[in-house]
Chains A and B, each alone.
Chain A
Amino acid sequence: MAEYNSPGGVQKVGVTLTLAGDVVTGSSLELYATGIAKAYQNLFQQNYSPQVTGKKIDTIQLGAVGGSSLTSGGFNDALKAIEEQAHA
């Protein structure tokens, strides 16, 4: 948790880091600002670009998964043929 002075008073922002050994493997922000400072913290959060770490899909309960569409049989066959050619 860190504090800073804004024209609207003292504001707080929290940063949580996840460590594996000495390496930062994850981070997250908690915003506590009030008033106009809240808009600025939201803006800061939008421009804050941490790396994703992710979770294994079989460790959480999901109703569906959102991602790129599986490709058609024709596409997969063509890709396989190209790979085989490349290794021939």
Chain B
Amino acid sequence: MPDLGRRRPLSAQYTFSALGTHWRIASPNSFDPEIRRQIDERVADFDAAWSRFRSDSVVSRMAREPGTYEFPPEAAAVMSLYRSVYELTAGRVTPLVGAALEHLGYDAECTLQRRPGIRATPSWDDALTVTGSSITTTAPIVLDIGAAGKGMLVDLVAELIDPDHDGRVLVDASGDLLHRGAVPCRVGLEHPLDPTMVIGVAQLRDASLCSSAVNRRRWGADLHHVVDPFTGEPVRGTQATWVVAENTALADVLATALFFTEPSVLAHRYSFSYVRMSDDGSVDWSPDFPGELFL
């Protein structure tokens, strides 16, 4: 990684699996056992609360019976971010899309078998009451924070990294990234149709970059994981988005929101830059996107 830091390389790496994918943290400082333990614990706590893919998680209990459930402290921030983007997208980015995802086959058992018919997604105010980090439901609910969860965990893990020396760090959660430090990191934007190619390079500095694309988490000809709650079907029109924002949870959720909403609408509330690639292969981007595109 010659371009991660000119003075002292981000030579220390800690790699692990979390949320079903590969993670890599790079820092100029070595990761002592205590830091590793804290990271592992943070990841485990997050997974135990939010994973749709394990039967003992809080969200799995919530899917079985209604009630009031206590989540880890990040719940307040996650749900408040979701609520804000829910409103900006007129309800199309919602943590209540979980049942529709399961209905299409993306369920805890990974059946990847679509059920007949369409599964409706309930409206937020009918389904959820959020008070701080506790969530109350009146019916069984499949809560899915997939649009912001991984980004949130990236931010939480980054907080644990010792900020001494020059404070540089790179957290790479399999394509969702957080960078801290003065020397930018060159981040390739993976081509959604060909993982051996990139469509551009972002210069990521003291910011986060998240991508959402429908090339992976795809099963069957028309089925992928970005589902429109209004139709119960995977959304069409966009095949990949990249967002740079000040934190990873925000970049993550905006990358999904761009599948449903024009950037100008999201820009009313949030500061971010983006690249978006349509199904027909054309791209649009914000003039302030930090990097270049290979057009």
Q: When the two chains form their complex, are residues B287 and A52 in contact, meaning their CB atoms are under 8 A apart?
A: no
Query: Which residue of the partner chain, among A62, A72, A74, contacts B187 with CB atoms under 8 Å?
Result: A62
The dominant DSSP class at the A interface is mixed
Rounded to whole angstroms, the CA-CA distance of A56 and B175 in the bound complex is 17
A20 smallest CB distance to B (angstroms)? 14
Q: At the interface, yes or no: A9 with Cβ under 8 Å from chain B?
A: no
Do A52 and B294 form a contact, CB below 8 Å, given A47-B284, A57-B188, A60-B201?
yes
Chain B binding site: helix, strand, loop or mixed by DSSP? strand
Q: Are A62 and B21 in contact (CB under 8 A)?
A: no
Given contacts A54-B197, A68-B175, contact A49 B278 (CB under 8 A): yes
CB atoms of B219 and A79 under 8 A apart: yes
Q: Mark A5-49, 1 if CB is under 8 A from B, else 0.
A: 000000000000000000000111000000000000010011111
Beta-carbon contacts under 8 Å, B75-130 to A: 110-113
**A59-73 interface (Cβ within 8 A of B):** 60-72
Interface string of B190-233 (1 = CB under 8 A from A): 11101111111110100001111111110110000000000000
CA A75 to CA B53, docked complex, whole Å? 11
B110, B192, B286: which contacts A78 (Cβ < 8 A)? B110
Within 8 A of A (CB), among B171-194: 172-177, 185-192, 194
> Known contacts A45-B287, A71-B20, A72-B20: does B1 contact A66 (CB below 8 Å)?
no
B169 interface residue (CB < 8 Å to A)? no
Task: Decide: A50 and B282 in contact? CB cutoff 8 A.
Answer: yes
B215 CB, min distance to chain A CBs, angstroms = 6
A-B contact count (CB 8 A): 159
CA distance A15 to B287 in the complex (A): 16
- What size tier do the contact residues of chain B reach? 35 or more
Q: Using Cβ atoms and an 8 Å threshold, which residues of chain A touch B282?
A: 49-52
Contacts of B272 in A (CB 8 A): none
Give the residue of B110, B192, B204 whose beta carbon is less than 8 angstroms from that of A74: B110
User: Is B147 interfacial (CB 8 A cutoff)?
Assistant: no
Q: Is the CB of B196 within 8 A of A75?
A: no
Which one of B150, B177, B213, B284 contacts A64 once the chains associate, using CB atoms below 8 Å?
Answer: B177
Residue in A closest to B197 when the chains form the complex, CB atoms: A54
Binding site for B on A (CB under 8 A): 26-28, 42, 45-58, 60-72, 74-75, 77-79, 82
The 8 closest A-B pairs by CB, nearest first: A67-B190, A72-B20, A49-B282, A68-B213, A63-B185, A78-B110, A69-B174, A54-B197
